[in-house]
């Protein structure tokens, strides 16, 4: 019988397989950041172990870093200690680091693909759940905890139970103004936050094949938000065109050999998935969340649901609690929800295409009074590219704040945070209670919805702006 893409990548990386034990998988690339690595390096020191393959390891600083005054020492002493600890560890163990101020610094899941280090068929891990982003290249990429970070540092392998596989087939074509973010939010609302649990998911079908690499990364990025172990997309010409000429992509004869292999990384026609979901992109609309997990989503044209409308008691309890936290009444049209802060950025939507899409909406317009728009490029190179294209000027003229690279307001770990009860429209990935700062209220949205919301001050799509003119 044929094999799925995920099974092929898995099989190529099995170092050892024994009945009754997890497979021992080789790891091609280990990405590291400052938050989940200090205790792992400490563990190595305690055991007198080194890093087995520093040449397959890359570190950067992203979660803690400020997005203003990035040329100054980090003000928060605890954040500074964490970043300095990473610098010491990288130096001591010989790991390449792109620190704050470096041209290649940025969110760990933005810089891997940007450098060309993320390639089809690789196994990629990082102490960060959004490692699934790299699956867009047909890599098997997943988040791990700190004990596993230490394990990979010491052995370049991980014991892993073979996961089940699932196909998410998206037929049809996304309508104008509907993005990869809307697609994945629609999927999560459909499948539920636990729907992907235990599966490696392959996204496929015409609507997926039509996506750019950056849009594919947005889809794969949010795999973890419906519980999937990883999400991947078969590499194709779009993938190869993106990779070609990247600094760390193979060159010359190596390129040819690599591409020849990458072309084999597709699910065989006679392969069977353990589960399948099919969605029609043609029916999708801009999609936003109303509650406190990424499965709490509705179309922008809808309204806040009534908790009593849910079938399961646990869902009713969860929805009641979510509405109380979010300060929302059932039945309120989504478009009437006023937003204080709009955040464009993160490993979900902080790439150059995202910034272009946001700029196209705000160009020649002004951010609504009482609303602030924060635009945070995912990496230094994304920032420089945007500035070269004049996008920074577009944002500043609209009254937005143009920032330096980092995780920023995706999580309340650096100075960019919501105040209690402050409401955001955010292009990031999690609307958990307090995720963007204690008491903050998050609506997850696509980039065009974020930008239009900043202009109108209420949750909106670009079409609403045209209607208003």
Partner 1 sequence: MDAFTTHIGIGVPLRRSNVDTDQIIPAAYLKRVTRTGFEDGLFAAWRNDPAFVLNQAPYDAGSVLVAGPDFGTGSSREHAVWALQNYGFKVVISPRFGDIFRGNAGKAGLLAAQVDDKVVLRLWALLEAEPGTTVSVDLTERTVRAGSGPEAVEDSFDIDDYTRWRLLEGLDDISLTLAHDDAIAAFEAARPSWKPTTL
Exactly one of 227, 231, 297, 345 binds partner 1 (CB under 8 A); that residue is 227
Please report how close the Cβ of residue 85 comes to partner 1 at its closest, in angstroms.
Answer: 5
Q: Encoding tokens for residue 287?
A: 């999609």
Exactly one of 92, 147, 283, 309 binds partner 1 (CB under 8 A); that residue is 147
CB 445 within 8 A of CB 288: yes
| Window of 206-214, 279-287, 314-322, 357-365 that interacts with partner 1 by CB under 8 A | 314-322
- Residue 171 binds partner 1, judged by CB under 8 A: no
Residues 195-214 that bind partner 1 (CB under 8 A): 197-198
What's the CA gap between 422 and 325, in Å, rounded? 11
Please report how close the Cβ of residue 127 comes to partner 1 at its closest, in angstroms.
Answer: 6
- Residue 310 binds partner 1, judged by CB under 8 A: no
Please identify, using beta-carbon distances, which residue of 47 and 103 lies nearer to partner 1. Answer: 47
Q: Could you please report the per-residue DSSP string of 411-442? A: STTSS--PPTT-EEEESSS---TTTTSTT-EE
- Residue 454 binds partner 1, judged by CB under 8 A: no
| Window of 171-179, 254-262, 279-287, 346-354 that interacts with partner 1 by CB under 8 A | 254-262
- Residue 220 binds partner 1, judged by CB under 8 A: no
Residues 364-423 that bind partner 1 (CB under 8 A): 411-413
The H or E element spanning position 303 is none
What's the CA gap between 362 and 222, in Å, rounded? 26
Please identify, using beta-carbon distances, which residue of 429 and 453 lies nearer to partner 1. Answer: 429
Please identify, using beta-carbon distances, which residue of 54 and 457 lies nearer to partner 1. Answer: 54
Q: Could you please report the per-residue DSSP string of 32-76? A: E-TTTSHHHHHHHHHHT---S-GGGEEEE--SS--SSSTTSPPSS
Exactly one of 151, 351, 365, 423 binds partner 1 (CB under 8 A); that residue is 151
What's the CA gap between 91 and 395, in Å, rounded? 38
CB 199 within 8 A of CB 191: no
How many CB atoms sit inside 10 A of residue 389's CB?
A: 14
| Window of 146-154, 274-282, 381-389, 447-455 that interacts with partner 1 by CB under 8 A | 146-154
Please identify, using beta-carbon distances, which residue of 130 and 403 lies nearer to partner 1. Answer: 130
CA angle 40, 294, 355 (to 5 degrees): 80
How many CB atoms sit inside 10 A of residue 295's CB?
A: 23
- The residue written with tokens 């809808």 in the block is 302
> β-pairing, 401-402 with 230-232?
unpaired
| Window of 204-212, 246-254, 341-349, 384-392 that interacts with partner 1 by CB under 8 A | 246-254
Residues 112-141 that bind partner 1 (CB under 8 A): 116-117, 119, 122, 127-129
Q: Encoding tokens for residue 322?
A: 């979510």
Count of residues making up the chain: 469
Exactly one of 113, 318, 406, 448 binds partner 1 (CB under 8 A); that residue is 318
- Residue 275 binds partner 1, judged by CB under 8 A: no
- The residue written with tokens 């949750």 in the block is 459
Residues 80-109 that bind partner 1 (CB under 8 A): 81-82, 85, 94, 96
Q: Encoding tokens for residue 394?
A: 């577009």
Residues 26-45 that bind partner 1 (CB under 8 A): 26, 28-29, 35-36, 38-39, 42
CA end-to-end span of the chain: 58
CB 353 within 8 A of CB 457: no
| Window of 183-191, 276-284, 349-357, 425-433 that interacts with partner 1 by CB under 8 A | 425-433
| Window of 208-216, 242-250, 265-273, 361-369 that interacts with partner 1 by CB under 8 A | 242-250
* Nearest residue to 4 (alpha-carbon basis) of 198, 276, 216, 190: 276
Q: What is the CA radius of gyration of the chain?
A: 21
Exactly one of 317, 327, 333, 338 binds partner 1 (CB under 8 A); that residue is 317
Please identify, using beta-carbon distances, which residue of 13 and 456 lies nearer to partner 1. Answer: 13
- Residue 297 binds partner 1, judged by CB under 8 A: no
Exactly one of 3, 24, 372, 457 binds partner 1 (CB under 8 A); that residue is 24
- Residue 216 binds partner 1, judged by CB under 8 A: no
CB 195 within 8 A of CB 225: no
Q: Judged by CB under 8 A, how many residues of this single chain contact partner 1?
A: 85
Per DSSP, what are the bridge partners of residue 276?
Answer: 167
Please report how close the Cβ of residue 288 comes to partner 1 at its closest, in angstroms.
Answer: 19
* Nearest residue to 431 (alpha-carbon basis) of 309, 340, 313, 295: 295
Please identify, using beta-carbon distances, which residue of 121 and 462 lies nearer to partner 1. Answer: 121
Exactly one of 65, 100, 166, 224 binds partner 1 (CB under 8 A); that residue is 224
Exactly one of 79, 165, 223, 428 binds partner 1 (CB under 8 A); that residue is 79
Please identify, using beta-carbon distances, which residue of 194 and 333 lies nearer to partner 1. Answer: 194
């Amino acid at each position: 019988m044929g094999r799925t893409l995920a099974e092929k990548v898995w099989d190529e990386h099995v170092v050892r397989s024994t009945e009754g034990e997890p497979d021992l998988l080789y790891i091609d690339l280990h990405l590291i950041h400052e938050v989940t690595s200090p205790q792992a390096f400490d563990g190595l020191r305690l055991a007198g172990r080194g890093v087995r393959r520093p040449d397959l390891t890359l570190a950067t600083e992203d979660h803690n870093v400020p997005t203003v005054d990035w040329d100054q020492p980090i003000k928060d002493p605890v954040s500074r200690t964490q970043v300095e600890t990473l610098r010491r560890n990288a130096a001591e163990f010989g790991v390449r680091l792109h620190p704050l101020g470096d041209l290649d610094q940025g969110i760990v899941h933005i810089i891997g693909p940007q450098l060309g280090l993320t390639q089809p068929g690789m196994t990629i891990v990082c102490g960060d759940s959004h490692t699934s982003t790299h699956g867009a290249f047909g890599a098997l990429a997943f988040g791990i905890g700190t004990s596993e970070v230490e394990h990979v540092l010491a052995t370049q392998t991980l014991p892993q139970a073979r996961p089940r596989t699932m196909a998410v087939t998206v037929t049809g074509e996304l309508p104008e103004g509907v993005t990869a973010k809307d697609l994945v939010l629609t999927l999560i609302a459909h499948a539920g936050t636990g729907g992907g649990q235990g599966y490696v998911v392959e996204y496929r079908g015409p609507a997926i094949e039509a996506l750019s690499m950056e849009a594919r990364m947005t889809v794969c990025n949010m795999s973890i938000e419906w519980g999937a172990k990883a999400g991947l997309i078969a590499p194709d010409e779009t993938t190869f065109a993106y990779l070609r000429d990247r600094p760390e992509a193979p060159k010359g004869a190596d390129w040819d050999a690599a591409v020849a292999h990458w072309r084999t990384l597709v699910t065989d026609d006679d392969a069977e998935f353990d589960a399948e979901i099919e969605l029609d992109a043609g029916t999708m609309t801009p999609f936003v969340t109303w509650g406190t997990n990424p499965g709490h989503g509705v179309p922008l044209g809808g309204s806040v649901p009534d908790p009593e409308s849910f079938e399961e008691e646990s869902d009713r309890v969860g929805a009641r609690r979510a509405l109380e936290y979010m300060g929302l009444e059932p039945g309120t049209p989504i478009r009437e929800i006023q937003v204080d802060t709009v955040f464009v950025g993160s490993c979900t939507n902080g790439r150059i295409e995202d910034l272009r899409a946001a700029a196209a909406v705000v160009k020649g317009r002004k951010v609504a009074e009482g609303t602030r728009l924060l635009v945070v490029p995912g990496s230094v190179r994304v920032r420089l590219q945007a500035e070269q294209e004049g996008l920074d000027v577009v944002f500043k003229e609209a009254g937005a704040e143009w920032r330096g690279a980092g995780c920023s307001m995706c999580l309340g770990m650096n100075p960019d945070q919501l105040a209690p009860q402050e409401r955001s429209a955010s292009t990031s990935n999690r609307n958990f209670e307090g995720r963007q700062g204690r008491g903050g209220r998050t609506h997850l949205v696509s980039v065009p919805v974020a930008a239009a919301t900043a202009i109108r001050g209420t949750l909106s799509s670009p079409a609403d702006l045209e209607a208003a003119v």
